[in-house]
A and B are shown apart, each in its own frame.
Chain A
Amino acid sequence: MSIMSVPILVRGRHVMDSRLMPAEELQRRRDAMCALLAARELDGVICYADSSCNGYVEYFTNYNCATPFTNAILLLTADGHCCLIASVPPRDTQRMREGFIPDDVELLTVGMSPLACDHVGLRTVEHMREKGLSDKRWGGIGLDRCLKRAMDDLEAALPPIVDLTGEFERLRAIKSEPEIAIIRKATTIARDAALEALHACQSGADECTAAARAELLARRAGVEDVKLFIGTSKSGGYLRLPQPRRQRYGEIVKLFCQVQYLRYRGLFGTTTPIGGGPGPGPILIAEQLERFMLLLDEIKAGDPYDERLLGSKLYGHSAIHGLGQDLTEAPSAAVPLAAYEENMVLGVLLETEQVIMADTVLCTKTAARSLCS
């Protein structure tokens, strides 16, 4: 499922307060990372983030690259010290410090501009040299996303960096209780928004009206970002942004909604026939729902992870991947962990040309269960 909900543009709500993860939770995560560093005999880890992969830095600090062309590097050393180098407008530095970044995180800011957001690389190297860190053994998380110039600066100044992205992904794939609670809320809002759009799907109604209703419901519920995608049986079936077009009697409408709430993602997808009554729509939808429930029954802790096999064997196109602070986390096609584990949160999508079913689920010993029903 590659539909992304990165904050492509500035909109929604910017949460900068204590509702985000408490310092104790951040400390627990840093301790786990430090244990990993010790096991790998590394002195520290360099984490990269921009608006398409916020989680790599946010997981340890609450810091989020909210503006599209900003980025950040976090240095977490084996003694637990954190230094965040972020490209942010100077006006936001104080708000960040007062609002949500823990006191023990050292904060360095550099300027920002749409075409030159690689300053964080240079500033990171400067900082490492000042602090005598440039000859240490470093691991890296998410550095494959790092801009070339910034990465060139890091590589020129440091010994070879050991990629720890896979280990980190494994670490954050198991969600804590506070995380599950937030994702449950996010998923509930995504479901409610999708259903609100579904109610607006009527013969002669404009798709944009459905989008507006979903947007308003989700944003009033406090999400930072919401995206509704629509696919219709009479326009190719693929998911796309809503268009100013009238819905027609008899067509089947697919709705897929993703939201970000307190920095965590939730998704939900459903399908409705326009006009109701006899026709293939209700039957197709009922069949697909049944398959979807069977699919969830087959996702159990301990079973091997296979992103597409379960669905493609029986049901057409499917996708199963982790989600959390980033829309796609491990296990995923890119980072396919060996097996499902308890307390993994997964986005599950089952789709044919005419019908979509999608939900955010919690993996248990016996099955995957929806977080919103």
Chain B
Amino acid sequence: MTDFKAEAERRYALLREQMQARGVEVLALYSAPWKTEIVHYVSNYRAFGLCACALLPLDGEPILFVSGRDELARAQGSAAIADVRVINGLDLRDAAAAARALGRTLAVAGLETLNQAQYAAFAALFGEDNISSGWPILDKAALIKSPAELDMIRASAKIADIGELAMVDAARVGVRAHELAAEIDAAMLAAGAEDNFQMTSTGKMLSCLHIPGEAALEPGDLVLAEITPFRGSITYAAQRCTTVKLGRASDAERRCYDMLIEALDGALAKVKPGTKAKEIAIIQNEIIGRYGYEKYCNPPFMRSRGHNLGLGTIELTVDNELELQPGMCMVVHPNQFTPETGYLACGTYVLVTETGCERLSALPTKLYEVEVDI
């Protein structure tokens, strides 16, 4: 995000509104190495150290703590927070002391990822009764995307399209799954992605998506991928779920993929403000069920009917009462196993608008078939 200042003020206001409502005087945002989006939300800084912690008081400027002095220069160069301090390794005692100086009640976003000593550092100064999880505060603030955030997500969607086309281009007999994944990643890096949450499965009668392995592509194989590029934070990612067939698809594969497209279209037709998240999941199951696959609409034959990425949780499950609102973003993916075809991937990222939804990908959703020389 090039001009983070205005966006930061908007976010701080949202967070403070929630803090006030919950009687929280200081919000600590803690990122383990695998949860960097938490600190990124308030700082525009992606941590590469052992951890990072930002403090947001009800009044006054935020403080950013980074792990290791090598992180300091990067944080000072990239973070939107002026007050950057260094901690040693995982030691949060200085951050806890700074937090205590800012207030008496604390919420920690990332509380469940603290180690024992980190929690003890906060508990010693605040008392356990004055510490709560800050996740609800952060997650609610991040649920509706701002215009600046949507710009980032739209950029990711364009890059995901580039990744998908690279995948179709590179899917050839003899190419190994991890080599195919490398081609996708390289194309998207060249287009400006910083990272990619990618699952790639290849073979026949696949059961799920996973990290790419060694298998070389053979005629008749299916290639499945979830492509999820982003810059800065996974909260600004967009996802495509894609299936490529090496050779001509069988009748069963065509029929089942058409069914998934129908489920996707049916779900997207329902996406609009006021619709409950569960309705988007249920319609997908209903459509797939009509084709005789009702009993496959549960794990392990499918995993999820859709979700957000990063912060601002949206889960498309059959019991989620969450009402959709304009500005929410999510992937809708009727990814599904059938006994005739194995697992198939089909999905796209959408934005909830005032009147319905907008597909953020410019590509059509289809079962790709690539020619195979035999």
Q: Which residues of A contact B (CB under 8 A)?
A: 1-4, 6, 8-17, 50-52, 66-69, 89-92, 115-116, 118, 144-149, 151-152, 155, 206, 208-209, 211-213, 215-216, 219-220, 222, 235-242, 244, 319, 334
Contacts and interface: CB of A to CB of B under 8 A. Distances in A.
Interface string B228-263: 000000100000000000000000000000000000
10 contacts: A9-B234, A16-B213, A17-B214, A52-B32, A91-B207, A147-B115, A148-B115, A148-B116, A208-B189, A238-B74
A241 B90 CA distance: 23
A116 B135 CA distance: 13
B70 interface: yes
A11 B112 CA distance: 25
Contacts of B5: none
A307 B265 CA distance: 59
A257 to B, nearest CB: 13
Contact of A3 (B70, B112, B211, B213): B70
Contact of A209 (B114, B182, B190, B210): B190
A2 B49 contact: yes
Given A151-B116, A208-B192, A2 B186 contact: no
B210 A13 contact: no
B78 to A, nearest CB: 6
A118 B32 CA distance: 14
Contact of A240 (B74, B135, B210, B300): B74
Contacts of B76: 238
A147 B34 CA distance: 13
A90 B185 CA distance: 27
Interface stretch (B16-24, B196-204, B320-328, B352-360): B196-204
A155 B115 CA distance: 13
Contacts of A90: 300
Given A2-B71, A10-B197, A11-B197, A51 B207 contact: no
B179 interface: yes
B336 to A, nearest CB: 15
Given A148-B115, A209-B190, A219-B185, A8 B36 contact: yes
B186 A11 contact: no
Nearest to B89: A334
Contacts of B177: 13
Interface string B165-193: 00000000000011101110111011110
A215 B186 contact: yes
Query: Which 6 interchain pairs have the tightest Cβ spacing?
Result: A219-B182, A2-B68, A13-B178, A68-B34, A212-B190, A238-B73
Contact of B195 (A9, A237, A334): A9
B275 interface: no
A166 to B, nearest CB: 14
Contacts of A69: 34-35
Contacts of B185: 11, 215, 219
Given A14-B212, A236-B73, A9 B196 contact: yes
Given A212-B189, A219-B182, A334-B89, A1 B211 contact: no
B59 interface: no
A212 B188 CA distance: 8
Contacts of A66: 211
Contacts of A209: 190
Given A13-B211, A91-B208, A238 B77 contact: yes
Given A2-B48, A8-B36, A144 B90 contact: yes
Contact of B116 (A68, A152, A240): A152
Contacts of A148: 114-116, 118-119
Nearest to B71: A2
A216 B188 CA distance: 11
Given A216-B182, A219-B181, A91 B116 contact: no
B179 A219 contact: yes
Contacts of A15: 213-214
A4 B114 CA distance: 19
